[in-house]
Amino acid sequence: MFIFLATIVMLPNLVWLWVGHGTDVWVCGLVIPSILLIVFFAILGNRLWLASLLLAPFAALAPLEAFYIDKYLRPTSAEILATLVATNPREAREYLGAAIWMLLLYVLAGFLLAMLVAWRSWQSRLRWNHRSRVWVVTGAILLPPIFFGTAVFTSSGNTSARATDGIHSLVSLTDSIEPGYPFGLFSRIAQYHQQWQKMRMGAARLDAFRFKAYRVAAIRRRQVYVFVLGESSRRDHWQLFGYGRPTNPQLLKLNNLVTIPDLVTSWPESINAIPLILTRKPITTSSPIWKEASILRAMWEAGFDTYWISNQLAIGKFDSPVSTYAYEAKHVQFLNHASYSDPGSRDEVLLKPLMDALRDSPNDLFVVLHMMGSHTDYDYRYPSSFEHFRPTQTDPGREDSRQERTRNSYDNTILYTDHVLAQIIDTLRGTDAVSALFFESDHGESLPSQTCSLGGHGNGTRYEYQVPALFWYSEAYDKTFPGRVAILRANSDKKVLNGDTFESLIDMAGINFPGHDESRSLFSPQWTYRPRIVNSPWQANIDSAEFSNRCEFVMPPGNKSTR
């Protein structure tokens, strides 16, 4: 029976071996977990019933971990655990689908098997008395100092440098344990707890902050406002803004759509760009932490039921600062169960929770939808039905250039974003509410070209600062607030900054608070131009900056580079 129990506990590793490739998978997914399992039984050799009992929770969870690996081709992580913990029962049923009852049966079977083995072991007084047990325990005790000593004696430098190398070798040993099951789960849970607590402490820091926001006028009709936060979308690849390819066929057909063709973000990465959108944080402040709460707090104070529905992760180096603001919402959902480097959920997953919110809450709503958008890897961000531009990065063959393949894959992400936005707007149109949608990307993206090999974001090229933005409004919104629509249309072609978004959303929803700065609102005739400072790696006003010859880095005047 121990063989059956070990097989159940090792099931996630076996599935990983089946779907994965490479030496690391074999080492982390078979060799290390097997050794640790043997060591575990050796340590508790006089109480094998206790070893079986302690493995019962892991035997129960093994089918769920195996299911995840089969779906996403890799083990869970601390970030994935955070998303799963934040998942409500309805989302769990949708995530597991028809497999939910079979998985629950496997969970129960794994637990009962471990309990049966524990009972039989206790009843029969089963023990590991062979001398091999001593060898295993001794080897486990000696292995860490051997790793440390080997690194110290084979490295160069002074004593401190050698000791540092020894510590690094121990860290690499523990890192290789983390992906495996079940013992790597302890490290993942510890990391999850640490990151989650840090994020929640940041959110709690803002609990006492109040804008003292209020409605400007009473509206007897239900109001629904949606802010869609895009990801890694550059404006010059949107057909709406003059791109030659048909990347926005659905949005182009819509009435009541106002494009904002010259909006710039001040930072080329999410961790710094998103707080500027959601709060009143100064545009040159590099820290994502700000002393004030976000637009979600102001909307809640004004009587809106607030939602944050995200297709990104809840915690992580780049995610936790954003989640600090997300948890100001009354209702929070994180829907993506995979890392950025995996296929994960596509942005249409946002539609059903939005419809659920519209149905479940009879109140006025303010909903933030956070997309995965055009984040790398591009081919993971859209279904095969949107593979319009070919060949893509993952298509077979080598006859096409890297630049052309990347461009095609990226444009397919924009085409899919167009579809998702059109679906969201169609959902709002069907509510018969005073409704509106504001869309804006956090930052743009560099794509490899004939003159520049850079890709991704955080480089500081002009394309990472120039982002798409648009506003859609319902007929009911137009009839209720015709003045706002007219003012927005008059301001829409101005040189706008993402630092204007917070105040614009305030006016869009018809609320006010002491200190509200209408000179930053696109819905106000008082909107005023401010120098559009962009940061990283240089700081410059993009409207007077120079652009380097090859990659078009945004640089202060007089600093033009050939790079």
Q: Which domains does the chain have, with CATH numbers?
A: 2-196 (no CATH), 222-555 (3.40.720.10)
pLDDT tens sequence across 526-555: 999 999 999 988 899 999 999 987 899 999
What whole-number distance in Å separates Cα of residue 46 and Cα of residue 458?
56
| Model pLDDT, residue 250 | 98
Please state the length of the chain.
Answer: 563
pLDDT surpassing 90 at residue 229: yes
pLDDT digits 0-9 by tens, 430-460: 998 999 999 999 999 999 988 888 888 888 9
- Which residues, in sequence order, are CB contacts of 356 under 8 Å at separation 6+? 90
Q: 296, 306 in Cβ contact below 8 A?
A: yes
pLDDT at 239 over 90: yes
| Mean pLDDT computed over every residue of the chain | 89
Residue 199 has pLDDT above 80, yes or no: no
Task: Please state the separation of Cα 557 from the chain's center in Å.
Answer: 36
- In the structure encoding, which two tokens stand for residue 501, read together? 């978004």
Return the structure tokens found at 93. 């049923």
Q: Tokens in use for 380? A: 């993971």
User: pTM, whole model, 2 decimals?
Assistant: 0.84
Q: How much is the average pLDDT of 41-55?
A: 90
Q: Is the pLDDT score of 405 beyond 80?
A: yes
Q: Which two tokens stand for residue 486?
A: 């007219």
DSSP assignment letter at 98: G
Per-residue pLDDT, averaged over 506-522, amounts to 97
Q: How confident is the model at residue 227 (pLDDT cuts 50, 70, 90)?
A: very high
Output phi, psi for 357, to 5 deg: -65, -40
pLDDT at 562 over 60: no
In this structure, what token pair is assigned to residue 2? Answer: 């121990």
Q: How confident is the model at residue 97 (pLDDT cuts 50, 70, 90)?
A: low
Q: How far apart are CA 40 and CA 46, in angstroms?
A: 12
Cβ atoms of 133 and 42 closer than 8 Å: yes
How many CB atoms are closer than 10 A to CB 100?
14
What band does 203 get if pLDDT is binned at 50, 70 and 90?
Answer: confident
| pLDDT (average), residues 91-108 | 74
- Give backbone dihedrals phi and psi of 257, rounded to 5 degrees, phi first: -110, 125
pLDDT tens, residue by residue, 370-384: 999 999 999 999 999
